[in-house]
Amino acid sequence: MAVSRADIVDQNLRSALASAVARPAPGPLDGPVAPGRQLTARRALELLESMMASRLLDLEARVLKGRNEGFYTIGSSGHECNAAVADVLRPTDPAFLHYRSGGFFVRRARQVPGQTPLLDVLLGIVASTDEPIAGGRHKVFGSLALQIPPQTSTIASHLPKAVGAAFTLARMERLGLRGAVPADSVVVCTFGDASSNHSTACGAFNAASIARHQNLPCPVLFVCEDNGIGISTHTPDGWVEARFAGHPHLRYFGCDGLDLADTWDTAAAAAAYVRETRRPAFLHLKLVRLLGHAGSDVEQSYRSAAEIEATEAQDPVLRAALALVGAGWVTPEDALALYDGLKARIHALGWEAQRRPRLQTAAEVVEPLAPLRPAVVEAVAAAAASPEGRARFFKAPPEDDRPRHLAVQINRALADLLAQHPEMVLFGEDVARKGGVYNVTNELEARAGVGRVFNTPLDETTILGLALGAGQLGMLPFPEIQYLAYLHNAIDQLRGEAGSLQFFSNGQFRNPMVVRIAGLAYQKGFGGHFHNDNGLAALRDIPGLLIAVPSNGEDAVGLLRTLAAAAKADGRVCVFIEPIALYMTKDLHADKDGAWSFAYPGPGFTVPVGRGRLWGDGTDLTIITFANGVWMSLRVAKRLEARGIGVRVLDLRWLNPLPEDDIAAAALATGRALVVDETRRTGGVAEGVFTVLVERCPAVRMARVAGVDTYIPLGDAANRVLVQEPDIEAAALALLER
């Protein structure tokens, strides 16, 4: 049988310890492990055990893979000194770990009684439902008891939410709110040298730096585990140090991450700096990567044998063990016995793990993805702030005012929610003093205070990362994305991070939020594809995401209340699309008819998740639409009614989940369904609606009108590619003739 590199690394360590020479201990175990060091010998020996355990978990993962029982072989070999980083932090400090921080995970688990990190990691490798964080959905480092939210194969996508969590700590203290962790916590996030070049990481470094520049507390410790290579691509020698050592706003701490004592001392200094100053810092651990990127990686295809052997000679577990033996803190026999004992124990746990149950059904897989308790959500949504609380936000109850347009009613709904939920924060570009590009958030900063309504840097990834971190610590964030097209700069923060957290933590962690996005088309006198974006496919593709789109001010209030309640009660990630062209629309059929202005619905009015709104009771034709399509379709319906054609218009209001029962009922009531979809033909909302129609009422005659598959141009040319009222009317008449 061929000898693997894992076998060679294992034998190198065993052989070196077997041939080492015993020496007398130089002093008490509670003394420094070496002259001039802060790390004690006793703690170094404890860390060595965690490092060995992390290494042996990597080796066992390959054994399990060889038996076709394991499904994950990306390991931490070469990075084991990150156990020292865990050791200098508190187990209550939130830790966002990447996939090579095994030493950190094992060490932190040993700081909290009752933890079983070795079995837990192996259960994740075999994808067992008994694995306590992800329940067999992925192999992750995560634990609620250890304040480690799970991250899945991250390429820096977790850095923005780490910054968001750090920024939120002080904000919660300022607002007098109790969070999930102590107010003086440090937030730590680990990542590789290759990931440090990712634009997402750069945005996080920038956000933390801006906070530091403004003297805003942001106690985040960035830990770069620099092994010099990303899969097969080398990081230029000295690049990380050259980039960060002189950073004006991130205090740099660098060390030899292969030297346990140096790592511990430097990490302790970095952690103390962040905790005491509440400022961000960058801890640079210079490491090596052993055993390739993963078990499937043929490292010999891009590294020479000499390079691989030279790297293996720097094995940090071997170095730590030999350093402790050489100093006399442990005998070679005891060190080898510790290693072999752990190996036997982990191997036995591997056999145990593979016998544990695994996910069997689709229902089991998706169970924690997007919890929704309608009765609970309805109760929270129907509640209201106290009269005294509302009085601080309104001179008079808004429901006593005359009917108003969409923008005003959204503003009032947000104020009502701020009054009701003290943990709610609203932020984004220009939302504070200016009140947003369209004045939708006008005066909210003055009413709620700058601690709850504030501006952010011009970076959508940072905005959503802040929402992620804030939500995980117990806040109710309402981030604003200024335009729909801007979201695509940062959509992985919703898809890969926010949407997946409950799924990969089996519901133990959550990041509730309501993302407000000004979007869709039909702006008059303004536009271009960046401000008139009608593409929603990327949002509708995110599993479990709640997406609501109002067409009028009344429904907007009810939808916002429901979204806030779903976020608060069930931790849901929600998106609220605000149709820009309808913000100021007051009239429907004629100038100054006021038919598209609505009274503010008082407390108690909600819109249940997945329920549409029916306009009219015509029996000849059903038009199914949303947002701008509702306004246009009602105008068309009136013209058709003048010709003796009875039309009913169903406003979807929810794009995920679609109101399937309402779609089917409305279509069956007339036998003809015209779907008016202002998004694009390909990937548009109509595709989902048609699926419902075909599956639930295939005998209904159906047709659609949709936008053209194109970016939207400036000026009147936009009307050539967007759905227009004549298009709706012509399609309706054609369908009636079939």
Of 712 and 166, the structure prediction assigns the larger pLDDT to 166
Residue 578 and residue 517 in contact, taking contact as beta carbons nearer than 8 Å: yes
Q: Three-class SS of residue 225?
A: strand
- In sequence order, the 6+-apart residues with CB closer than 8 A to the CB of 219 are 166, 169, 170, 185, 186, 187, 274, 275, 277, 278, 279, 280
CA distance 235 to 288: 12
- What's the pLDDT tens digit per position in 136-148? 999 999 999 999 9
pLDDT value at residue 178? 87
pLDDT of 531 strictly over 90: no
Q: What mean pLDDT do residues 359-376 have?
A: 96
pLDDT value at residue 152? 77
Q: Which of 120, 113, 110, 56 is nearest to 83 (CA)?
A: 110
CA distance 618 to 138: 51
pLDDT value at residue 1? 54
Which domains does the chain show, CATH number per domain? 48-358 (3.40.50.970), 386-582 (3.40.50.970), 613-736 (3.40.50.920)
Which band of pLDDT confidence, cut at 50, 70 and 90, is reported for residue 714? confident
CA distance 23 to 19: 13
Q: Three-class SS of residue 134?
A: coil
Average pLDDT, the chain: 96
CA distance 298 to 689: 47
- What's the pLDDT tens digit per position in 384-417? 999 999 999 999 999 999 999 999 999 999 999 9
- In sequence order, the 6+-apart residues with CB closer than 8 A to the CB of 368 are 135, 502, 503, 505, 506, 507
pLDDT of 682 strictly over 80: yes
Which band of pLDDT confidence, cut at 50, 70 and 90, is reported for residue 474? very high
Structural Rg of the chain based on CA atoms: 29
pLDDT value at residue 527? 64
Please provide residue 385's backbone torsions phi and psi, each rounded to the nearest 5 degrees.
-65, 160
**Which residues, listed in sequence order, are joined to residue 613 by a DSSP beta bridge?**
651
- What's the pLDDT tens digit per position in 105-135? 999 999 999 999 999 999 999 999 999 999 9
Q: What mean pLDDT do residues 458-468 have?
A: 97
- What's the pLDDT tens digit per position in 629-674? 999 999 999 999 999 999 999 999 999 999 999 999 999 999 999 9
pLDDT of 528 strictly over 80: no
Which band of pLDDT confidence, cut at 50, 70 and 90, is reported for residue 525? low
Q: What mean pLDDT do residues 711-723 have?
A: 90
- What's the pLDDT tens digit per position in 14-38? 999 999 999 998 999 999 999 999 9
- Both tokens of residue 193? 């040298």
pLDDT of 2 strictly over 70: no
Which band of pLDDT confidence, cut at 50, 70 and 90, is reported for residue 302? very high
- DSSP character string of 588-633: SSSTT--TT-BPPP-TT----TT--EEE---SSEEEEE-THHHHHH
Q: Which of 650, 659, 588 is nearest to 616 (CA)?
A: 650
- Tell me if the bond preceding 726 is cis, omega within 30° of 0: no
CA distance 104 to 87: 8
- What's the pLDDT tens digit per position in 583-614? 999 999 999 999 999 999 999 999 999 999 99
